[in-house]
């Protein structure tokens, strides 16, 4: 005798769509939509979007921004910035033979108390000597720390994403050895001020 088949519940019918909104200082744009059964399930989710998608500028598609959903208002999920990263395919495209790649990894605190991990990267025109590499790395460290002390969190993030910080590093370090490219490879928010 055949068994009675139970009717299967469709989980999609119980879920709702929520639109995801970028923080105010990035433009409060709609950066996507997501699906959830309960609004509480969205809190803590990480969303990635490119700068090119936010600004409609195709030349900036190599920079990914990361946001974490922090709050739900109706069917709008509000986010906060947690970091950015340059895509690996773009990084591989700017690496060349017979050149020096100079990386550094810094922990900085902005004027308003946010703690960030900043990872600048620099490429020279030809291969540099160790003393020149150390000098460029020192300039990179000093420039990033100075800018972090002068700017608040939102201004610092904007400079790191839009290339102003890397342009400042380039101007300060090009006297030591000719540079081909300077980028802020990655930023991560490690701590927020106690409210």
Residues of the chain with CATH 3.30.479.30: 95-191
Average pLDDT over residues 137-159: 96
What is the dihedral angle through the alpha carbons of 179, 117, 78, 27, rounded to the nearest 10 degrees?
A: -30
What share of the chain in percent tops pLDDT 90?
81
What are the percentages of helix, strand and coil residues in the chain, rounded to 5? 35, 35, 30
pLDDT digits (tens, 9 = 90+) for 42-75: 999 999 999 998 888 888 899 999 999 999 999 9
Q: What is the pLDDT of residue 1?
A: 65
Is CATH 3.30.479.30 correct for 95-191?
A: yes
pLDDT-derived band at 194 (thresholds 50, 70, 90) equals confident
Q: What is the pTM of this model?
A: 0.88
Q: In terms of pLDDT, which residue wins out, 132 or 8?
A: 132
Q: Average per-residue pLDDT in the chain?
A: 93
Q: pLDDT by residue (tens digit) across 62-112?
A: 999 999 999 999 999 999 999 999 999 999 999 999 999 999 999 999 999
pLDDT band at 195 (very low <50, low <70, confident <90, very high): low
Cβ atoms within 10 Å, residue 16? 11
CA distance 168 to 58: 23
In this model, does residue 125 exceed pLDDT 70?
yes
78 - beta bridge partners? 21, 71
């Amino acid at each position: 005798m055949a068994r009675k088949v139970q009717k299967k519940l469709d989980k999609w019918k119980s879920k709702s769509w929520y639109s995801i909104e970028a923080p105010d200082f990035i433009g409060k744009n709609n950066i996507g939509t997501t699906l959830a059964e309960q609004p509480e399930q969205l809190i803590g989710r990480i969303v990635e979007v490119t700068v090119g998608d936010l600004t409609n500028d195709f030349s900036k598609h190599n920079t990914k921004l990361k946001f974490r959903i922090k709050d739900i208002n109706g069917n709008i999920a509000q986010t906060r910035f947690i970091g950015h990263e340059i895509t690996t395919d773009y990084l591989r495209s700017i690496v060349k033979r017979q050149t020096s790649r100079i990386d550094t990894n810094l922990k900085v605190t902005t004027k308003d108390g946010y703690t960030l991990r900043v990872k600048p990267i620099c490429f020279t025109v030809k291969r540099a000597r160790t003393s020149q590499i150390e000098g460029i790395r020192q300039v990179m460290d000093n420039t990033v720390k100075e800018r972090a002390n002068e700017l608040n969190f939102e201004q610092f993030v904007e400079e790191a994403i839009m290339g102003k910080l890397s342009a400042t590093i380039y101007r300060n370090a090009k006297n030591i050895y000719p540079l081909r490219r300077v980028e802020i490879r990655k930023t991560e928010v490690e701590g927020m001020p106690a409210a």
